Amino acid sequence: MSTHALHEKLDAIFQAHLQAELAGDLDETLATMSPDPHLVNVPTMVGGQGPEGVRQFYAKRLIGQFFPPDVVFETVSRTYGEQRLVDELIISFTHTIKMDHILPGVEPTGRRVEAVFVVIVGFEADKVAYEHIHWDQASVLVQLGLLDPKGLPVVGAGAAAKLRNPALPDPFFHEG
């Protein structure tokens, strides 16, 4: 299979999975996954192992609370391997719904969030085998008003701004 064909194939498999998640269709989401999948949201340790664990994760923490209606997914880069893809994204949303997959136990704040995410998706037999999702939880918590950045090396929405424009100044560098 050519490199281009492999990329198109992985894109199509992951797009079907993502569309099922966004639609809130639990059975269709699981149908896009391998027989023994796992999912880990690294900053919160939330996820599931095996078909029943992943089903419970989707049913209790994701379906119906994936992202608010104003969510925007901005792709920064996508990197391919033979059995995986890695997405670097900026995800923006207003925290108007409960989001237990990202903010377990945190009630909606009504505040705007713009955060950098890295999603590593593994494939097995034309299905999604796993997702490992990373983001800077401190930057999210600063934007929600739940973490005071004073005296801490955290930047809130500045991380996404710096990714968009690497020429922005280093907020922690002071000459002298």
Give the pLDDT score at 73. 93
Low-confidence stretches of the chain (pLDDT beneath 70):
175-176
List the domain boundaries for the chain.
3-164
Per-residue pLDDT, 62: 81
Q: If you search the block for the tokens 């034309």, which residue do you land on?
A: 126
Is 0.85 topped by the overall pTM?
yes
pLDDT of residue 22: 82
Contact 122, 83 (CB under 8 A): yes
pLDDT of residue 170: 86
Check if the beta carbon of residue 65 is closer than 8 Å to that of residue 26: no
CATH of domain 3-164: 3.10.450.50
